[in-house]
Each structure stands twice: as structure tokens, then as C-alpha cells.
Amino acid sequence: MSEQEGGNGSSKSSSLTNYEEALEALSSLIIRRTRADGSNFGDQFDVLFVYLKMLDLEEQISNMKIIHVAGTKGKGSTCTFTESILRNCGFRTGLFTSPHLIDIRERFRLNGIEISQEKFLAYFWWCYDRLKEKTDDNVPMPNYFRFLALLAFKIFAEEQVDVAIMEVGLGGKYDATNVVKEPIVCGITSLGYDHMEILGNTLGEIAGEKAGIFKDRIPAFTVPQPEEAMHVLEDKASKLNVPLQVVPPLDAKLLNGLTLGLEGEHQYLNAALAIALCSTWLKRTGNIGDAYLERTDTLPEQFIKGLTSASLQGRAQIVSDMHFKNDQSNELVFFLDGAHSPESMEVCARWFSLAIKDNSPDEMLFHRQLDNPKSSHDVVKMQHGERGAQRKSAPILLFNCLTVRDPQLLLPRLMETCADHDRSSKSVGKSHARQKTGTITDIVPEELKDDIEMSASNCEHSAVFSSLPVAIKWLRDRSQQNQSVRFQVLVTGSLHLVGDVLKLVKK
């Protein structure tokens, strides 16, 4: 972006007040999305190309070397692995994902780091002011997500990234990221039931929307899918002459004894998809030859480093409450995962069940003491006598889902899977609320209370709190009152909930 072009943005980019003004302007673009027959989704998809002309982005996007990823589960993880691999291969990367957890700038990453506030504001106001000037009643301002996608393309074009990894926000066919006409390679992660009010009621319909990112003769990869979904993907690929390949989970042996940067068994599937996307991107951009792709017995060092160093907030993340950072006698640990579909609830429950075993109070305190024992006698004493007196653990569920999702579909899958792992999750804190401006409001709608209490009825203990801060305060109070207990809190059901919990516990 030239100095002249960026003048308006640059003059505004220095103050916190201006950042808040930008967020207010962005919030004004939030509108309700409906099925693919409304003016905001589907029929008016072509208006996106009008916006591209307004922003002079058509040629810039056509010159980008883009990796495009859709799916129900694992999109963010797959894109994160992909970005990390290519960055470690020496390329300048741009990564666009959604949603954000704490700050909108998380959605735009340059070389693995969220864009600076100064750059964000410069590009934001350049795009916003130009669109505001050129749109009218016939072509209104783009909605919230469409604007963010356009902003991502502007940022990556001006920052001259070598590769742009674009995560689909919703669906695929009518998603704002699908203005890309010739990506280098496409990926479809695991498919399941989500956003059914928009994408359709069957896996076939959902798969059809996701396959909307396929482009004529552009290679695509997916992971093993349910038969109904796979049939649709294969049919769509065939009609567009798309060479579609299915990748199996990554063999952990290829990591040379290391572990993936993102936790959970399901990540080996996302990692395998990322490897296929990166390998194909490298080949099609002239950076490697065919022989490289044919090797199945080893991974390049850069790939291993990328996979093992990847990080993503809110997915299988473990965080201790910073409220007690100076008080070692209190232990309140949050296990955060933004699962929000029935299938991802099962994956989340399996991860949590294993994670609380690996992070049991006995093991954690025992190893912490062994790091600095007073004497060899103390080590023997702890090994044989003291571990039985260590803290008990208390698994707790803090759950929330947006009003478009049914807690009675999500909670049973979560609880049943936890039970299969011989663990009981006591649901003591449920903060249900409507989504507002990308965050959780502090008011529980009266019409939701019956559904919440009904979905909690299968738990031994349950309670509904009026707001998330109240629920967190309850947990902190219990932790202080029961210092012999280590509270292990699973936070799931919504990425928005996870983001709001992170804001509170990291203060």
C-alpha cells in the first residue's frame, strides 16, 4: 500500500481510541445470516467481485499462491500446521482463520504472528473508507465476515506473502474466501453436522457446500469421510476434473520421537492433510520435484519442526488461572477446547479424559518436588510414602453453546465419552448466552433457562450462572475454600466461550 493510499489509515493508526473506533465500525457490519436463498448468503455471492473491483484486488488475488481449506472440524488446526510447515521451509506466510478468541487481529497472521495494531488499522481504514465511499443502496457495505476476508486479501497482497493460507468461514461455495478462482491446492477437513440452519440437514448437503471450493483441475485432498459425504465430494471432484486424494492419519513414527504441537489423537489426521497440502503447494510452485512427494518413509526436517512447533489457542489448550499465580496453594486449571459439534464433543472428551490423567495432582506435584529435592532421602520418602496424601482432583465442566446449537445434542456425547474413560464430569457451571458482537453477553436469556437445566439434569451436580464472570468467581472461591483439591475445569461448547474464559483467567 503506497503512502498516499495508506494516508488516511496511517493518520489514524496510533491510538487505542482509534482501534476501538475500528472495532465499532466493524461491529456495524454484523447482520444475521440465513439459508442460501437470502440476500446475505447465496444469491448475492457475485457482489463480492464488485467489492474486489472497488478495492483493486482482482489482479492481486490472481497472483497469490493460495491454499484454500474448508471442512467442519479441524480447519483451524490444519491451516495452522500448514502455515507452520511452510514458514519453517523459509517462506513468508499469511494465515487467515476464524473466529478470533480475544483480539480480532488473531485472524490475520504474518509469518505466524498476528498483525500489529498499526498495520491492522492502516489496512482496515483504507478498505473501510474506500468501500464506504463507493457502496450505495444497490451495493451496500459487505457484512462482517465478508469485510474481514476482503481485508485479509488486501493485507496479504500488500505484505507480499509467498503463500496465503485461507480458512473458509462457513460452508465453502458461497463463503467470502471463495472469490479465489485458481488456488494452488484445496483441502477438505473432517465433515460433520454443523451450521445446519445454513448448510443443510444431511451430510450430503453439507459436503456439497464444502466442495464448492473445488476448482477446475486444481488438486484437492481430504481425509476419510462418512460414506454419504465422500460420495458427494467424489462426484463434485469428478465433474470439475479435480484430482481428489484421501490422506490417512500421520504415522507418529515419522516425527522421530517428537509430538505434534497441537494435542489430541485427531490432530494426526489434520497434520497428514497439512503435509499433503504443503507438498503439493511446493511442487506446483516449482520448489520441489515429484521424487520428493513419493517418499513415505520420512519427513523433511522443516516439516517435522513445523508440525511439532505449531500452536493454536483454544484447541486442546491447558491454562492455569493467573488469579492464583502468586499462591501455590491454590490450583485451578482450565482445559480449553472450542468443540461445538456432536462429533467434536467426542474428540474433546477423549482428549480431556487423557489430559487429566497426564496432569493428575499426584504426578504434577511429585515431579515438581523431584525437580528440587532436599536430599536423596526425600526422594525415596516421596516415592514410597507421601504421594497418597497429595491433592484430590475435581473434574468440572463449564459449558456454553450459541442459541443456534442444541445443548441436548452436544452434552450427552460429551458426558457419555467421558464416562467411557471411567471419569465423571460434574457440570457445576453453565453460562449460556446469546452471541453479541463476537463475545458472550452477561445476561442469560430467560427463554434458555429451561433448556439449560434440562440438559444438565443428567449430571450429579449442576448450576446455571447469570454470567461468565460470576461462574469464574464461583470456581475461584471454591478453589480457595478447598485447597486440598485441584480443580480441573473443561471449558467447551463454543470458541467464543473459550475466548472469554482466556480473557478472564489470563488477567
| 384 and 290 within one domain | no
| 409 and 487 within one domain | yes
| 212 and 357 within one domain | no
Overall domain count for the chain: 3
CATH (domain of 466): 3.90.190.20
Q: How far apart are CA 257 and CA 162, in angstroms?
A: 31
Provide φ and ψ at 237, rounded to 5°.
-65, -40
Q: Is the pLDDT of residue 289 over 70?
A: no
Residue 451 lies in a domain: yes
pLDDT: which is higher, 375 or 217: 217
CATH (domain of 200): 3.40.1190.10
Which 3-state string (H, E, C) describes 388-440? HHCCEEEEEEEECCCCCCCHHHHHHHHHHHHHHCCCCCEEEEECCCCEECCEE
Q: What is the pLDDT of residues 233-274, one digit of tens each?
A: 999 999 999 999 999 999 999 999 999 999 888 899 999 999
Last residue of a domain, one of 161, 184, 216: 161
| 337 and 435 within one domain | yes
Last residue of a domain, one of 161, 192, 221: 161
| 127 and 272 within one domain | no
Last residue of a domain, one of 312, 333, 354: 312
Residue 136 lies in a domain: yes
At residue 196 the predicted structure's pLDDT band, cuts being 50, 70 and 90, is: low
**What's the average model confidence in pLDDT over 148-154?**
98
Q: Is the pLDDT of residue 285 over 60?
A: yes
| 210 and 72 within one domain | yes
Residue 199 lies in a domain: yes
Q: How far apart are CA 340 and CA 494, in angstroms?
A: 5
| 146 and 11 within one domain | yes
pLDDT: which is higher, 350 or 210: 210
Question: Out of 40-54, 344-358, 463-477, 483-497, which region has the weakest mean confidence (pLDDT)?
Answer: 40-54
| 143 and 9 within one domain | yes
**Residue 41, CA distances (Å) to 136, 176, 201, 202 in order:** 19, 10, 17, 19
* H or E stretch at 240: none
Contact criterion met (CB below 8 Å) for 344 and 192: yes
Q: What is the pLDDT of residues 9-33, one digit of tens each?
A: 444 445 567 999 999 999 999 875 5
Residue 48 lies in a domain: yes
Residue 106 lies in a domain: no
Q: What is the pLDDT of residues 394-444, one digit of tens each?
A: 888 898 887 777 888 888 888 888 877 654 444 444 443 333 322 222 223
Residue 109 lies in a domain: no
| 372 and 271 within one domain | no
Q: How far apart are CA 89 and CA 282, in angstroms?
A: 10
At residue 325 the predicted structure's pLDDT band, cuts being 50, 70 and 90, is: low
Residue 107 lies in a domain: no
| 53 and 138 within one domain | yes
| 304 and 330 within one domain | no
Q: How far apart are CA 378 and CA 373, in angstroms?
A: 6
pLDDT: which is higher, 424 or 101: 101
**What's the average model confidence in pLDDT over 155-159?**
98
| 462 and 365 within one domain | yes
Q: Domain range for residue 144?
A: 1-62+116-161
The rounded mean pLDDT for the chain is: 81
Residue 104 lies in a domain: no
3-state secondary structure of 288: coil
Question: Out of 93-107, 152-166, 475-489, which region has the weakest mean confidence (pLDDT)?
Answer: 475-489
